[in-house]
Structure 1
């Protein structure tokens, strides 16, 4: 029986190969970092150092598929691990794209047009790339995306705040993201924006723990506007990006890694739902010493503020690293990086964590 199942599985994989061109690829990423948290960050009133060593959660295997001259697809699985599961498998990407000539239409799970983290190479904390500290990762969402001449427009289901009980939420509009990229060598400029909304109904039985002062229905909305500029001038390169918005955490732009006290989401003050006003920016610069050595440094800052805070919530991160090519498609990135939670909305220290170690990566 097991042999039959195996043969069927092989058949299912092999059969499309006769009708389409499959270009397989993969990446093995291994993290080897010491992480030192000070007494404020650790939560135990003393500094704490731990070794983070293992297959990174963003290791992957995938395939680029070409069905014909018009239809193509990408399938990508994450093959990483975490502290509790060494065999974690997840779907990173799965989408198909049809070229209509003047424009392309993509359907499936993909990154949103507002992502800016691709141009930064912070490798600690599983290739965090300053996400939550000034760069944006809108996540990989199921979407319908229209692409034409540098313009992208995507419609997807809104990201719902973790604090919201889904049973008391109505989603009636898709999340909208758009961008326009102008690539004039050696400079690339990208402008982007995003918007989402949903309605949260008051339900005493499902009231949120931290929002139980509300006794009325609320329309929840979020938006972001921003830009990115990248210069690639031979051996030297540099990037600058920034964003401004409201309740950007609802769109998945600020995660728990950011260290922001309210994760850029709305909250209640004097029995009213108050929006969070957010902005962030990031910069990096690098130098290609040779084909085997690239040096880079980067900095990012994120801030969120709303009524009821004694001060704005802020976090920053910075890093210095070197990409050392040991052989073709095999490299190591030693790095020293800092995630600084700064002070919370009550003006109390939240501490910082220092990462020092390296990422090992092989592409195949």
Structure 2
């Protein structure tokens, strides 16, 4: 970890040494949550047939960060952002963002690790600002890519999830994603799409199969006076193979040559209670289906939170919610998790 931190600091200073203008920023995000799980949840996941109450990730979350932005000149800008996670099990420093932008006038070229064009979500703070990922929302993470940007349009060639043939999968193309976001007051709209393909080497040469994974998504945000309404939905195939880790069962089944189709949707309502207080409620649902399964695999979640800004840099966000895993593809109850607590955040 020390070597990683030294390397990160070296990169920061290497970039800023040649920059004409640079700035540091940071965000400390502290989690104080409890979870309560019922007997079905514990029996399904751990083989313990009883309910449970426990502290969940009490401490500095993995999404705390320290970063630097640099204006190098000649149309070049750079950004490096490190994640800072601390707990009673030790500290972790990791790379969140690192990229360089080249402004070509009408187009901007971005090279490096960044958020992908495809992504939806509402302001849910539990589980390191999960934003309902896996429960109607989509999140891939920050992945190395080559991206072209022009206004609200993005087109990216992204590192695929499966690389090499170590697990009998060969990647022959980078993942391709595109998104277009635009605003027609009082509505902001977004359309997103992605595609990737893999070659599966069955028994290391007996027969070859190629399968694809794709996703289509749309989102809309209506902002009228003190009320903000957010809606989004998606549809795709083999989304775990695509790269959405929160949809672990949405995979291509090699044995039966079956694709898993998945769709989901979320709705969020935010009310401005006062200049420094916002209340948000949200609901999300995901359904996965495969012809080889006995039943569909469904899950849903819902939450409510209150964002209270003590000042422009410091806010507290208490939240209560439910993860309902419903039944798996064998019609077995997976149980529920109820959580409650707060996120504390200081931006600097």
The answer, yes or no, to whether TM exceeds 0.5 is yes
Counterpart residue number, 1:211: none
| Shift in CA distance, 51/102, structure 1 to aligned 2, threshold 3 Å | same
The structure richer in strand per residue is: 2
Q: TM-score, normalised by structure 2?
A: 0.91
Contact 1:131 1:254 in 2 (8 A): no
1:330 has 2:322 as partner: no
Counterpart residue number, 1:150: 152
Contact 1:229 1:239 in 2 (8 A): yes
1:263 has 2:249 as partner: yes
> How far apart are 1:250 and its partner, in Å?
1.2
| Shift in CA distance, 274/83, structure 1 to aligned 2, threshold 3 Å | farther
Separation of aligned partners in 2, 1:123 and 1:319: 10
> How far apart are 1:254 and its partner, in Å?
4.2
Counterpart residue number, 1:241: 232
| Shift in CA distance, 235/11, structure 1 to aligned 2, threshold 3 Å | closer
Contact 2:124 2:303 in 1 (8 A): yes
Contact 2:162 2:171 in 1 (8 A): no
Q: Which runs of 4+ in 1 moved over 4 A?
A: 9-12
Q: TM-score, normalised by structure 1?
A: 0.87
Counterpart residue number, 2:175: 175
Gaps of 5+ in 1: 1-5, 205-213
Separation of aligned partners in 1, 2:287 and 2:319: 25
> How far apart are 1:11 and its partner, in Å?
11
Separation of aligned partners in 2, 1:275 and 1:314: 16
What is the correspondence of 1:1-364 to structure 2 with a 5 Å cutoff?
13=13, 16-17=16-17, 19-43=19-43, 44-52=48-56, 53-68=58-73, 70-81=75-86, 84=89, 86-117=90-121, 120-160=122-162, 166-203=166-203, 216-255=207-246, 263-268=249-254, 271-364=255-348
| Shift in CA distance, 69/297, structure 1 to aligned 2, threshold 3 Å | farther
Gaps of 5+ in 2: 1-5
Separation of aligned partners in 2, 1:339 and 1:19: 46
> How far apart are 1:280 and its partner, in Å?
0.5
Contact 1:116 1:241 in 2 (8 A): yes
Contact 1:71 1:97 in 2 (8 A): yes
Contact 2:256 2:292 in 1 (8 A): no
Separation of aligned partners in 1, 2:176 and 2:124: 28
Counterpart residue number, 1:208: none
Separation of aligned partners in 2, 1:15 and 1:308: 52
